[in-house]
């Protein structure tokens, strides 16, 4: 990789305005180009995408809902390299399909409703295969990348792709299924949200909202052990859950396939050892999966040592020869935890380009220790060890962990027992290549402070934590999304936190933290709504150049040193569509401790007439020289995924689910689609058929600078 810049980068573009149009905007002097959209063929034998929902064979097309991704350089001979700026394999996650209108079918979904009949197999097959990940070759000519449709590297990995387990839970009773009675293998991956990569040249893809894909029958509780019930409750899979797209209702044409039946985790066979039924199938999802993008015949590996939860992403520490590697991970649900995995093996520079990448993966990812973070009030923190050597886990009364496999399969329960800090939905983590500091997006938590209720995962909602100071005082005045709110709303705009490991050692068990940035609407402090709650909301001093809500993606460019931040807020669209912003990382501690806030009136320094007073931490003050908006998205879309060519002259992002708010009943009427992007050519060259009436598609977008320079500088 190129050496990081010597100093903080200087942002060299003019901020784009907030935008509510169905288009992509980028700064003057930049061009956005779509290179890979839902339904694109990756095989010359598979037909071009048509704008009518008739395409099948999604096992050889782009999946839907592009999310995390990574650029893997290829040299002229097709070998891995970190220095190629004109040829690469792009690994891209396909997290989900639309929950409202499903544009990949001609007339939307058949029998989508909870009380409808069986789903047609052909529709379900398309939907299943639209999940997972792509590995596609891209090559540059004339200054722009395009997908190489006939590349032998092109591959779709889907919920049907055979995978193996690695790590301590491999072979565990909890992973034994009809598909793999030995509990060593499994079939496919689901809900692949954000991503990661390894220093040995493989892709990490992370299963997030896996539980929602499963049906649980209305009487399943009675067939389960007490421990199973605790485990189901903790992943939010309630008895009676209908299971997402209801794939389990498919009656397969061959009469014997378990392809669909497995999505009903309450289908219990005669045997109770897990080998004759689907009781454990849900345990085979929720992992970090390693893929070797350079070997299209390789079998992906689910590394159980990194724990099972709603994984957002898994990003490595900066490798140091002779020291362990760490991977930082968020569990993206309200009131969940930040985790890190530390390898037992220490980094050997000879592993940077190994002959057997997945064997190297086993070396670093299958023997190590999982930790969860505790954020203390004084700005320090502790990594709590999640194994049976921790007496809080071995002696836990809520759930009697049988062994390490049980701890890893039920990592949330282990982190509960250990006493980790409930966070405001931890999403991406980004490690600063210059100094190893870790940035973490905490996207939102409206439940923060609403003590006594329970979250979707049945965790008792947290009261105020010093690391999460925005609770009900931010109820009003944050965005017009809350203008009519009469109840307390917690942290609705999110924040970006920062961790610095003690001694800059990724294997340290203690750290310091601060808050880098608070999301807010710029005019919140100008008295947007309610006079009682208008102050102390825009804590980072955001302006119209950089105000944002619900930070999600965050990622460092190694070429420019810019920290890129992306948003996913479908409520902030009264203010702007989602966006990509560029930030200068700044110095440790510049988001310092500020004030004591009275919970009764939300005002700094006031006497404690409310239930409690708490110390809050200021975000860094973000003027438009160090933080500004670079891109806005089409209607209904989130901005996610970040990758670059090593020279920093091509930046890639994903536009996820444009038009997702279209009503299912309107699929036959393009005039009622929320979005027609990218077929409408709005902000990009028109991509694919359909023009102004195109069906909307998720897509990977390449951003280039018209003068050929590094993006953002």
Considering the complex, state which of residue 161 and residue 441 has its C-beta at the smaller distance from Ca ion. 441
Cα–Cα distance measured from residue 152 to residue 417, given in angstroms and rounded to the nearest whole number: 48
- Window 425-444: contact mask with ligand FEO (x via CB under 6 A): --x-----------------
With tokens 């994903």, the residue in question is: 654
Which of the listed partners (Ca ion, ligand FEO, none) does 655 bind, with a CB threshold of 5 to 8 Å by partner kind?
A: none
Taking CB under 6 A as the criterion, the residue among 22, 123, 277, 332 binding ligand FEO is: 332
Q: CA 482, CA 659: separation in Å to the nearest integer?
A: 23
Contact partner, 465, from Ca ion, ligand FEO, none, Cβ < 5-8 Å per class: none
Long-range (24+ apart) CB contacts under 8 A made by 481-488 are: 481/571, 481/572, 481/574, 482/529, 483/528, 483/529, 488/449, 488/450
447 touches ligand FEO (CB under 6 A): no
| Identity of the residue, 51 or 158, whose beta carbon is nearer to ligand FEO in the bound complex | 158
* Per-position x/- string for 146-165, each x denoting binding to ligand FEO as judged by CB under 6 A, each - no binding: --------------------
State both tokens at 459. Answer: 């965790």
Spatial distance between the Cα atoms of 444 and 425, rounded to a whole number of angstroms? 6
Torsion angle (degrees, nearest 10) of CA 348, 352, 354, 360: 60
Continuous segment of H or E residues that includes residue 416: helix 411-418
DSSP assignment letter at 459: P
Residue 19 in the binding site for Ca ion (CB under 5 A): no
Bridge partners of 288?
206, 303
- Residue 638 interacting partner from ligand FEO, Ca ion, none (CB closer than 5 to 8 Å by kind): Ca ion
- Rounded distance between C-alpha atoms, residue 7 and residue 25, angstroms: 29
Q: How far is the CB of 32 from Ca ion (least distance, A)?
A: 20
Q: Cα angle vertex 518, ends 517, 522, to 5°? A: 115
When CB distances are held under 5 to 8 angstroms depending on the partner's kind, the choice from ligand FEO, Ca ion, none that residue 127 binds is none
**Order of strands, sheet of 551-556, starting from the edge strand that comes earlier in the sequence:** 551-556, 563-567, 579-583, 627-632
Contact criterion met (CB below 8 Å) for 482 and 476? yes
Choice from 552, 569, 595, 644 touching Ca ion (CB under 5 A): 552
The nearer residue to Ca ion, 108 or 330, going by C-beta atoms, is 330
- The pair of three-digit structure tokens given for residue 213, joined into one six-digit string: 């894909």
Comparison of 259 and 427: residue with beta carbon closer to ligand FEO = 427
Q: Does 638 bind Ca ion (CB under 5 A)?
A: yes
Q: Which of residues 619-678 bind ligand FEO (CB under 6 A)?
A: none
Cβ-based neighbour number of residue 297 at 10 Å: 6
Distance in Å, CB of 636 to ligand FEO, minimum: 15
Q: Which is nearer to ligand FEO, 11 or 133 (CB)?
A: 133
Shortest distance (Å) from residue 332 CB to ligand FEO: 3
Give the pair of three-digit tokens for residue 74. Answer: 């290829």
Q: Smallest distance, Å, CB 575 to ligand FEO?
A: 20
Residue whose token pair is 């299958």: 366
**Binding string, residues 261-300; x marks residues near ligand FEO by CB under 6 A:** ----------------------------------------
CA 71 vs CA 148, 160, 197, 561: distances in Å: 14, 24, 9, 17
Q: For Ca ion, how many residues bind (rule: CB under 5 A)?
A: 5
Q: How far is the CB of 159 from Ca ion (least distance, A)?
A: 18
559-578 footprint of Ca ion as x/- string (CB under 5 A): ---------x----------
What is the per-residue binding string for ligand FEO in 93-132, x denoting contact by CB under 6 A? --x-------------------------------------
Q: Considering CB distances under 5 to 8 angstroms, the limit depending on partner class, which of Ca ion, ligand FEO, none binds residue 547?
A: none
Yes or no: say if 100 and 667 are a contact pair by the CB < 8 Å rule: no
Total residues in contact with ligand FEO, by rule CB under 6 A: 6
Tokens of 208: 């997030």
Token pair in block for residue 271 = 């045997």
593-598/613-617 β-pairing: antiparallel
Kindly state the smallest distance separating residue 636's Cβ from Ca ion, in Å.
10
Nearer to ligand FEO, 65 or 215 (CB): 65
Instruction: Indicate which of Ca ion, ligand FEO, none lies near residue 208 (CB less than 5 to 8 Å, by partner kind).
Output: ligand FEO
Name which position in 220, 264, 312, 674 contacts ligand FEO (CB under 6 A): 312
- Which distant-in-sequence residues (6+ apart) come within 8 Å of 371 by Cβ? 339, 340, 341, 342, 383, 384, 385, 386, 509
Binding mask 202-221 for ligand FEO (x = CB under 6 A): ------x-------------
Can you give the binding site for Ca ion, defined by CB under 5 A? 427, 443, 552, 568, 638
Can you give the binding site for ligand FEO, defined by CB under 6 A? 95, 193, 208, 312, 332, 427
């Amino acid at each position: 990789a190129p050496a990081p810049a010597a100093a903080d980068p200087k942002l060299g573009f003019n901020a784009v305005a907030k935008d509510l149009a169905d288009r992509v905007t980028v700064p003057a002097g930049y061009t956005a180009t779509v290179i890979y959209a839902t339904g694109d063929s990756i095989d010359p034998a598979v037909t071009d995408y048509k704008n009518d929902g008739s395409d099948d064979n999604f096992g050889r097309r782009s999946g839907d809902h592009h999310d995390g991704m990574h650029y893997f350089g290829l040299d002229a001979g097709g070998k891995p390299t970190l220095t190629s700026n004109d040829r690469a394999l792009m690994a891209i996650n396909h997290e989900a399909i639309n929950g409202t209108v499903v544009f990949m079918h001609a007339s939307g979904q058949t029998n989508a409703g909870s009380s409808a009949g069986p789903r047609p197999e052909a529709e379900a097959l398309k939907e299943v295969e639209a999940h997972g990940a792509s590995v596609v070759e891209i090559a540059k000519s004339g200054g722009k990348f395009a997908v190489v449709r006939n590349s032998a590297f092109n591959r779709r990995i889907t919920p049907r792709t055979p995978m193996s387990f690695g790590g301590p839970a491999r072979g565990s009773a909890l992973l034994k299924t009809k598909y793999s009675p030995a509990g060593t293998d499994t079939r496919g991956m689901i809900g692949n949200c954000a991503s990661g990569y390894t220093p040995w040249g493989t892709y990490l893809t992370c299963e997030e909202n896996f539980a929602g894909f499963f049906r649980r029958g209305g009487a399943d509780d009675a067939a389960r052990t007490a421990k199973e019930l605790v485990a189901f409750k903790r992943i939010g899979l309630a008895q009676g859950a209908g299971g997402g797209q209801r794939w389990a209702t498919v009656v397969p044409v061959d009469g014997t396939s378990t392809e669909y039946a497995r999505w009903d985790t309450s289908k219990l066979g005669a045997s109770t050892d897990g080998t004759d039924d689907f009781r454990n199938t849900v345990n085979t999802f929720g992992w970090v999966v390693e893929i070797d993008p350079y070997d299209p015949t390789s079998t992906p590996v689910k590394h159980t040592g990194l724990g099972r939860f709603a994984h957002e992403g898994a990003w490595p520490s900066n490798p140091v020869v002779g020291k362990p590697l760490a991977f930082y991970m968020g569990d993206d649900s309200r009131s969940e935890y930040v985790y890190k995995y530390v390898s037992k093996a220490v980094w050997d520079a000879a592993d940077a380009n190994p002959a057997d990448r997945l064997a190297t993966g086993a070396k670093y990812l299958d023997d190590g220790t999982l930790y969860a973070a505790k954020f203390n009030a004084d700005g320090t923190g502790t990594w709590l060890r999640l194994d049976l050597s921790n007496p809080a886990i071995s002696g836990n009364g809520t759930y009697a962990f049988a062994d390490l496999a049980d701890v890893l399969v039920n990592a949330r329960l282990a982190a509960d027992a250990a006493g980790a800090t409930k966070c405001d939905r931890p999403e991406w983590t980004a490690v600063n290549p210059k100094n190893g500091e870790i940035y973490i997006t905490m996207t939102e938590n409206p439940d923060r402070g609403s003590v006594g209720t329970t979250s979707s995962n049945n965790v008792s909602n947290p009261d105020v934590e010093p690391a999460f100071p925005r609770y009900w005082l931010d109820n009003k005045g944050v965005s017009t999304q809350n203008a009519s709110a009469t109840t307390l709303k917690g942290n609705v705009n999110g924040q970006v936190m920062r961790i610095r490991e003690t001694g800059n050692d990724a294997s340290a068990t203690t750290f310091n933290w601060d808050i880098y940035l608070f999301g807010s609407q710029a005019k919140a402090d100008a008295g947007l709504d309610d006079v009682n709650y208008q102050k102390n909301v825009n804590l980072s001093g955001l302006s119209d150049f950089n105000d944002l809500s619900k930070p999600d993606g965050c990622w460092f460019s190694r070429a420019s040193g810019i920290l890129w931040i992306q948003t996913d807020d479908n409520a902030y669209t009264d203010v702007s569509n989602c966006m990509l912003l560029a930030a200068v990382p700044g110095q440790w501690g510049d988001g310092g401790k500020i004030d004591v806030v009275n919970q009764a009136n939300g005002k700094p320094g006031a006497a404690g007439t409310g239930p409690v007073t708490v110390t809050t931490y200021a975000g860094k003050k973000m003027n438009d020289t160090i933080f500004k908006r670079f891109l806005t998205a089409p209607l209904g879309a989130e901005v996610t995924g970040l990758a670059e060519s090593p020279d920093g002259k091509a930046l890639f992002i994903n536009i996820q689910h444009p038009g997702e708010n279209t009503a299912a009943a309107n699929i036959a009427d393009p005039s009622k689609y929320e979005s027609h992007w990218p077929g409408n050519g709005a902000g990009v060259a028109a991509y694919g058929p359909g023009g102004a009436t195109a069906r909307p598609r998720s897509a990977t977008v390449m951003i280039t600078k018209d003068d050929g320079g590094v993006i953002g500088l």
